[in-house]
Amino acid sequence: MIPYTPIDQAIAQIPKSGTVVLPGLSGEPLHLLDALVSDRERFTGLTIYHMPLATPCHYANPLYKEHFQIRSFLLNGQVKEAVKQNMAEYVPMNLSNVPGYIETLQPDVAFIMCTEPNAERHVSLGVSCDYTLAALWAADVVIAEVNPSLPWTDGAPVISTEEINYFVKGEGQLNELSAAVPGELEQQIATHVAALVPDKATIQVGIGSLANAVVASLHDKQELGVHTGTFPEAMIQLINDGVVTNEHKEVDQAKSWPRASSVQRNCTPLPIAIP
């Protein structure tokens, strides 16, 4: 068992003008962020670093400009108005440089979302690891929202509970990026792209309806490998159908390698490596 802290007491650990780093993409802890917004009057210029995707970003409401300042490694539609109101700024850099940047930043607090602990008192960061480990190691205080719905991912995302200062209870559905449905034009483009992909190739894919269409069009290929930035739903079907085997990759053979996954409800255990 781990000791849980009331969420308001956990939020009270954040300096009123401090710095908070959030997990990237689908990994934002919604209960912690709702509590942060509820306690906004206590903060004056709290700086929040994030990389949002498929997340509501309620904290980026321009009405909270006096309380929160947003620094984004990735902009989305939910932050657009905050940028216009000079509440949010884009921080341009390669993703590979973000962990080092955060180490230099030395944030006051890192928010994370994690699974319930196993028998060895370890938890998994689940759907988002990318720079989250760097934030966890660099921050003065680490606050974890424990979500029983979070899938367990092995590798670097597995950490000891000793590395976390406060645990709060979370529950409910994860941030989910619904699969974009390709139209006729995307299907036509995907057919041409798929013709350029040879058997045994290692593929990298992006996000959106065109990426989904291209991946789905690879169904007649053989022995593909995956080393990708994002992991669309159509990729799961290729793995289940035996199209993706990862046998011919030069690194991480027999494993699909995504930088981050966007959560979808039919997620099933797969041989995926997350650094």
The answer to whether the CB of 232 falls within 8 A of the CB of 213 is: no
Q: Are residues 48 and 92 in the same domain?
A: yes
Q: Looking at the domain assignment, is residue 175 inside a domain?
A: no
* Cβ pair 21, 102 in contact under 8 A: yes
Q: Which of 217, 227, 223 is nearest to 195 (CA)?
A: 217
CATH number at residue 31: 3.40.1080.10
Look at the chain and report how many structural domains it folds into.
2
Give yes or no for a contact between 79 and 60, defined as CB atoms under 8 angstroms apart.
yes
Q: What is the pTM of this model?
A: 0.82
Does residue 267 belong to any structural domain of this protein?
Answer: no
- Residue 130, in any domain of the structure: yes
Neighbours of 254 (CB within 10 A): 11
Supply the CATH number for residue 244's domain: 3.30.750.70
Query: What pLDDT shows up at residue 153?
Result: 81
Q: Is residue 206 part of a domain?
A: yes
For residue range 72-95, list pLDDT tens digits in order: 998 888 898 999 999 999 999 998
Which stretch of DSSP H or E encloses residue 90?
strand 88-90
> Domain range spanning residue 198?
184-258
Whether 157 contacts 131, CB under 8 Å: no
Same domain? For 18 and 98 the reply is: yes
On whether both 165 and 192 belong to a single domain, the answer is: no
pLDDT, tens digit, 9 for 90 and up, residues 170-220: 987 777 767 778 899 999 999 999 999 999 999 998 878 898 899 999 999
Whether residue 152 sits in one domain with residue 192: no
Q: For 17-55, how does the pLDDT look when each residue is reduced to its tens digit (9 = 90+)?
A: 999 999 988 889 999 999 999 999 999 999 999 998 778
Give the distance between the most distant pair of CA atoms in the chain: 58
Domain boundary among 122, 138, 169: 169
Q: How far is CA 25 from the centre of its chain?
A: 3
Task: Check whether residue 252 and residue 159 sit in a common domain.
Answer: no
| 35 contact partners, CB below 8 Å, separation of at least 6 | 7, 8, 10, 11
In this structure, are residues 50 and 98 in contact, taking their beta carbons and an 8 Å threshold? no
In-domain check, residue 101: yes
Amino acid at 183: G
Q: Same domain, yes or no, for 190 and 64?
A: no
